[in-house]
């Protein structure tokens, strides 16, 4: 009887060890699918190329285009109401509002949801930054700006040239340039939205 108990315990431990090894292998495989060495880099707009034209709306339904940002540097941050990382980033972006203004950069959020869902997010998080609406289903801006996911940013110069773009992990490098900007002394003319 004791031998059966010992053999059963051994099989149980061997089964548990195999299960742990399979779980680790699966986790590694999933990680490699997302960030592995064979994974092509995320395609984004190229720095130095002209920013694509677009047409989006304010929460009040007014049309805004790339020309609305003429002669103004801008940083667009693409967000979505259901995006957890966006909800984390938005309060931090709100804190950067003054710094962006001092650097003469129009920091603008572009929601990939409809106006109703976007307004609910604005109300919930007390967003004071300009917010534009470009529903993913009907507006090609996500494709044109090669938005890989949310939150995502694209910064353009006063001439409408892409200055920086990518997922928010690279955002801090771009924000550092604000304090070094010689344009910070320019008069900031915020977009009225």
Whether the pTM exceeds 0.85: the reply is no
Distance of alpha carbon 106 from alpha carbon 91, whole angstroms: 17
Going by pLDDT thresholds of 50, 70 and 90, the confidence category of residue 188 is very low
- For residues 79 and 108, membership in a common domain is answered with yes
- Convert the pLDDT of each residue in 100-128 to its tens digit: 998 899 999 999 999 999 999 999 999 99
The pLDDT of residue 172 is above 90: no
- For residues 60 and 144, membership in a common domain is answered with yes
Please tell me which residue, 107 or 184, carries the higher pLDDT value. 107
Q: Collapsing DSSP states into helix, strand and coil, what is residue 37?
A: coil
Residues in the chain: 193
Residues of the domain holding 10: 1-39
- For residues 64 and 12, membership in a common domain is answered with no
Residue 49 lies in a domain: no
The pLDDT of residue 190 is above 50: no
- Convert the pLDDT of each residue in 18-65 to its tens digit: 888 777 777 666 655 544 455 556 788 999 999 999 999 999 999 999
Average pLDDT over residues 168-183: 75
Residue 63 lies in a domain: yes
Nearest Cα residue to 117 out of 80, 76, 62:
80
Average pLDDT over residues 74-97: 93
> Which residue has tokens 């950069």?
105
- Taking CA 169 as the corner, what is the angle to CA 167 and CA 173, rounded to the nearest 5 degrees? 105
Distance of alpha carbon 48 from alpha carbon 59, whole angstroms: 31
Residue 11 lies in a domain: yes
- For residues 82 and 148, membership in a common domain is answered with yes
Residue 48 lies in a domain: no
- For residues 87 and 20, membership in a common domain is answered with no
């Amino acid at each position: 009887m004791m031998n059966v108990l010992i053999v059963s315990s051994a099989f149980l431990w061997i089964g548990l060890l195999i299960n742990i090894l399979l779980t680790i292998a699966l986790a590694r495989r999933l990680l490699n699918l997302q960030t592995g060495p064979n994974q092509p880099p995320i395609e984004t707009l190229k720095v130095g190329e002209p920013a694509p034209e677009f047409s989006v709306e304010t929460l009040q339904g007014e049309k805004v285009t790339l020309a609305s940002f003429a002669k103004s540097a801008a940083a667009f941050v693409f967000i979505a109401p259901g995006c957890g990382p966006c909800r984390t980033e938005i309060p931090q972006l709100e804190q950067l509002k003054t710094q962006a203004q001092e650097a003469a950069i129009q920091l603008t959020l572009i929601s990939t949801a409809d106006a109703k869902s976007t307004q609910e997010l604005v109300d919930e998080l007390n967003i004071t930054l300009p917010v534009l609406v470009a529903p993913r289903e009907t507006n090609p801006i996500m494709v044109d700006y090669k938005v890989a996911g949310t939150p995502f940013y694209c910064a353009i110069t006063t001439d409408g040239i892409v200055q920086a773009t990518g997922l928010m992990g690279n955002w801090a490098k771009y924000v550092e340039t604000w304090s070094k900007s010689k344009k910070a002394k320019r008069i900031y003319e915020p977009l009225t939205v």
